[in-house]
Structure 1
Amino acid sequence: MPKRILNVVTNVAHYDDPGHPTGLWLSELTHAWHVFEEAGYEQTLVSPAGGKVPLEPRALKFPNYDKTAKAWFNDPAKMALLENTLSPDDINSADYDAIYFTGGHAVMYDFLDSAGLQRITREMYERGAIVSSVCHGYCGLLNTTLSDGTYLIAGKHMTGFAWREEELAKVDKLVPYNAEKVAKERGGLYEKARLPFVPYAVVDGNLVTGQNPASAKKTAKEVVALLNK
């Protein structure tokens, strides 16, 4: 049986200010999807509410709009996958070997308190399946607790989009919270690369996290390495 990956994407199309659009950072999905596809894995898309996934406009510009993102964007069958994603209620966590949370600032709104995603993540993590995220995808882990009530990331080495990167991206005044700060408050042993926006991934047991958009491929490869052990 091929390994099965559950890719998590957003349903949110804008910041608190509707004049500032956001959505899925496409390359964070496509880079990982390509790595998982090459490994022969089956993949499924799920979102907090199910249904349509908007795209982050800034992710459709160079350098983020690269070969894999262009190929997806120009493939009607692939784009159709983003029109009708499953909801957490449709998912039996036992069917999957790994969960991968994609990013884009939109996920700060709908990943954080999704009870359905938290259930799936907790069930997978506690049975030893791989929980992974890239960039803002770690917002889906911040409020996830284990059966004993402790935060999943407590005491775990992990990473995600850094506050300095928010400042450099000039969105620090738009985002609803400082995810790096929250991760540390939850007991996460947060790490980041010495330089912003360079690929960086952290593995701690069956938790795999990547820092920023450039880290999607590296994060996915770490997931593959664990699954192929």
Structure 2
Amino acid sequence: MGRMSIFKQIILLACLLMMKTAIANGMPEMPTPSDQILLVVTSHDRYPSRTDSTGLWLAELTHVYDVLLEAGYSVDLVSPLGGKVPIDPRSLGWLYLDAAAKARLHDPKFMALLQSSQAAADIDPAVYRAIFFTGGHGTMWDFRSNKALKRIAEGIYRHGGIVSSVCHGAAGLLDLEAEDGTPLIAGHRLTGFSNLEETLSGVRSQVPYLLQSELEAKGARYEKSIIPFRSYVVTDGRFVTGQNPGSSQEVALALLAALKNGTQP
């Protein structure tokens, strides 16, 4: 009788193991924070009074996109509203569109991603290792004061992830808060589009605020290149920031280095 009881227990255990395996095989594999990176792009395409449009500065997305994919990371594209992503026409000029960005412009699969970005409200920050805010003047309007982007970036940072930006994308850092309610960027070395560069770009009268001034007002230790539009990148702890469009390739490599050297969340 005792032997039969043991035999039944063995059979029951085997059945339970088989059921567990079958259930696991039938479920999709859950993403892990070790390989998921979130790239944020603008949904905004209008200046207050200019007739030309704004939007995403293309190379500020393509450089980090290419670097991360080549390194084996999984990349998701998100915007404040979701759907089609506007591209700043000026970013497509010969002076700014290098061979790598031009290749993506003519890549149907990549361009399809820009037609169907995910909405920020639908994003779970727990599955991402880092968030990267791309630039373009449109970000000045829809990155700041966006509750969904704020929730995502704070969530990623609090579980040990990296917060990164390039150029005007640093607008996404302005409203981030530490758990005690103080500005998350206070005391950190950061960079972003400078006040001088805003003047030289010819749209200073159009933007709702000056990014450098607002970063400084939040307590960030703002840094910039002495020469406008020259590449300048700052890594400070789990913040990785680039100053301007010319910094997009260097900031992509700095983000990759931070991902490789950083602690897993």
What's the secondary structure of 2:154's corresponding residue? helix
SS of equivalent to 1:184: helix
CA–CA distance in structure 1, aligned partners of residues 95 and 37 of structure 2: 26
Q: Distance in 1 between matches of 2:49 and 2:75?
A: 33
* 3-state SS of paired residue (1:194): coil
Three-state SS of the structure 2 residue aligned to 1:228 is: helix
Partner residue, 1:139: 171
Tell me what 2:201 maps to. Answer: 169
Superposed CA deviations along residues 51-78 of structure 1, whole A, max 9, x for unmatched, are: 1100001000022111122111111111
> Are residue 181 (structure 1) and residue 181 (structure 2) matched?
no
Output the CA distance in 2 between the equivalents of 1:97 and 1:67.
29
| Greater helix fraction, Structure 1 or Structure 2 | 2
Q: Which residue matches 1:113?
A: 145
Give, in whole Å, the separation in 2 of the partners of 1:127 and 1:14.
35
Q: Which of 207, 214, 221 in structure 1 is aligned with 2:239?
A: 207
CA RMSD of aligned residues (A): 1.1
Q: Which runs of 5+ in 1 are unaligned?
A: none
| TM-score of the pair, normalised by structure 1 | 0.97
Of 99, 119, 122, which aligns to 2:154? Answer: 122
Aligned equivalents of 2:202 and 2:63: distance in 1? 24
Question: Is 1:87 matched with 2:119?
Answer: yes
Change (3 A) 1:18 1:171: closer
Shift of 1:38: 1.5
Using the TM superposition, give the Cα deviation of residue 169 of structure 1 relative to its aligned residue in structure 2, in angstroms. 1.0
1:99 correspondence with 2:131: yes
Structure 2 stretches lacking a partner, 5+ long:
1-31
Query: Does residue 3 of structure 1 match 2:40?
Result: no
TM-score normalised by length of structure 2: 0.84
Shift of 1:202: 0.5
Q: Which residue of 2 aligns with 1:34?
A: 66
After superposition, give the CA deviation of every residue in 1:165-218 in whole Å (9 maximum; x if it has no partner).
011111111111111101111101000011111111101100111000111111
1:66-77 correspondence to structure 2 within 5 Å: 66-77=98-109
Q: Are 2:249 and 1:217 equivalent residues in the alignment?
A: yes
In 2: Cα distance, 1:86 partner to 1:148 partner:
30
Q: How high is the sequence identity, in percent, across the aligned residues?
A: 48
Q: How many positions carry a matched residue from both structures?
A: 229
**Offset at residue 17 of structure 1 (A):** 2.3
> How many angstroms does 1:18 deviate by?
5.6
**Within 2, Cα distance between the matches of 1:191 and 1:199?**
12
Q: Deviations over 1:102-126 (max 9, x none)?
A: 0000000000111000001001111
Which SS does the other structure have where 1:43 is aligned? Answer: strand
Over 4 Å off, 4+ runs: none
The C-alpha deviation readout for 1:6-59, integer Å capped at 9, x for no partner, is 000011111122623100000000011111111111100000111110000100
Query: Separation in 2 of the partners of 1:227 and 1:141?
Result: 19
For 2:23, the equivalent position in structure 1 comes to none
Distance 2:163 2:195 in 1: 23
CA distance in 2 between counterparts of 1:177 and 1:103 reads: 15
CA distance in 1, matches of 2:110, 2:43: 17
Distance 2:253 2:35 in 1: 14
